[in-house]
Amino acid sequence: MRVKTLAKNLIESSVGRLFETFSEQYTNRELGKIGQSVGIDFKIKTHTARHTFGTLFIEMGGDVVTLKDYMGHRDLGTTMKYVHISEKRKKEKINVFDKLFKKEAPNPIFTKEEEDSSNVA
């Protein structure tokens, strides 16, 4: 049988829908069971995916304005509620910043010896 014929038979034999739909409540309950089975100790819901997407998008180098648009928000404040940067990631970013300033730091006007001799007057 050709794919087109198979698809047509499948659609015609379904009762109004090609795929069964599940309620959000049912889906959340099943996600909770899956989470428990793998040792996740917080409640997982379908909405958790929005938080995961927001966080991963930013951590992988995406910008907040684009994320705001993808998530359908009007303001950045709402979008930022979905971004949860890990402590490890914060430390990585601040280390990059520290290295930048260490490279850019100007040389001192006096060497340590010159400074000590100027205070002897």
- The reply to whether 3 and 53 lie within a common domain is no
Compute the distance between CA of residue 30 and CA of residue 36 in angstroms, rounded to an integer. 10
- The reply to whether 3 and 26 lie within a common domain is yes
Domain final residue pick, 29, 45, 61: 45
Is 114 within the bounds of a domain?
no
pLDDT digits (tens, 9 = 90+) for 26-68: 999 999 999 999 999 888 999 999 999 999 999 999 999 999 9
**Residue indicated by tokens 């951590």:** 59
Q: Of 57, 96, 97, 60, whose CA–CA distance to 80 is shortest?
A: 57
Distance of CA 72 to the CA centre of its chain: 16
pLDDT digits (tens, 9 = 90+) for 63-102: 999 999 999 999 999 999 999 988 888 888 888 888 888 7
**Residue indicated by tokens 């304005």:** 65
- The reply to whether 1 and 30 lie within a common domain is yes
Compute the distance between CA of residue 35 and CA of residue 89 in angstroms, rounded to an integer. 24
Predicted local distance difference test score (pLDDT) of residue 17? 65
Is 39 within the bounds of a domain?
yes
- The reply to whether 59 and 93 lie within a common domain is yes
Question: Residue 68 is encoded by which pair of tokens?
Answer: 């705001």
Q: How many domains does the chain have?
A: 2
Is 111 within the bounds of a domain?
no
Which pTM was predicted? 0.57
Q: Domain containing 18: what range?
A: 1-45
- The reply to whether 1 and 23 lie within a common domain is yes
